């Protein structure tokens, strides 16, 4: 996640990363899906938020991992966009039985939050 934050920072967005809980080894596909959701959310910040700070949280809890990206930028304009980013993130979450919420925040900014179930591998 740190390398991704550095890459996005080069594009002019300040990124703060926070890990909560005890990181656990995730199945490869689930791990990649969570990473790609964060990557797409940060790409959207670069494209649509203007000068902004993005906060990435990765939360490990028994039976789930959650990722959240919140920015304080201006958000997408109201022209509807033409991309498939949010739909793709939603599909990635659903592939593993998870959920995704995405939308503007009151007062500005945007939030993407995914919750992905993790099977007990022990």
DSSP 8-state class, residue 107: T
- For a pLDDT cut of 90, what percent of the chain falls above it? 73
Give me the chain's average pLDDT, please: 90
- For a pLDDT cut of 70, what percent of the chain falls above it? 90
| pLDDT, tens digit, 9 for 90 and up, residues 24-47 | 999 999 999 999 999 999 999 999
DSSP letter for each residue of 62-76: TTEEEEEEEE-S---
The pTM assigned to this predicted structure is 0.90
Domains recognised in the chain with CATH numbers: 2-117 (3.30.565.10)
> In angstroms, how far apart are the furthest CA atoms of the chain?
48
For the segment 55-68, the average pLDDT, to the nearest whole number, is 97
Whether 78 has a pLDDT exceeding 50, the answer reads no
CA 27 to chain centre: 18
CA 58 to chain centre: 9
């Amino acid at each position: 996640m740190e390398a991704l934050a550095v890459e996005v920072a080069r594009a002019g967005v300040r990124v703060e990363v926070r890990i909560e809980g005890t990181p656990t080894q995730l199945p490869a596909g689930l791990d990649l899906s969570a990473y790609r959701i964060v990557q797409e959310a940060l790409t959207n910040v670069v494209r649509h938020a203007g000068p902004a700070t993005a906060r990435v949280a990765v939360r490990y809890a028994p039976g789930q991992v959650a990722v959240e990206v919140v920015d304080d930028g201006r958000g997408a304009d109201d022209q509807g966009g033409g991309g498939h980013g949010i739909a793709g993130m939603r599909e990635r979450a659903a592939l593993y039985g998870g959920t995704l919420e995405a939308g503007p925040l009151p007062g500005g900014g945007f939030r993407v939050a995914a919750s992905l179930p993790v099977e007990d591998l022990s």
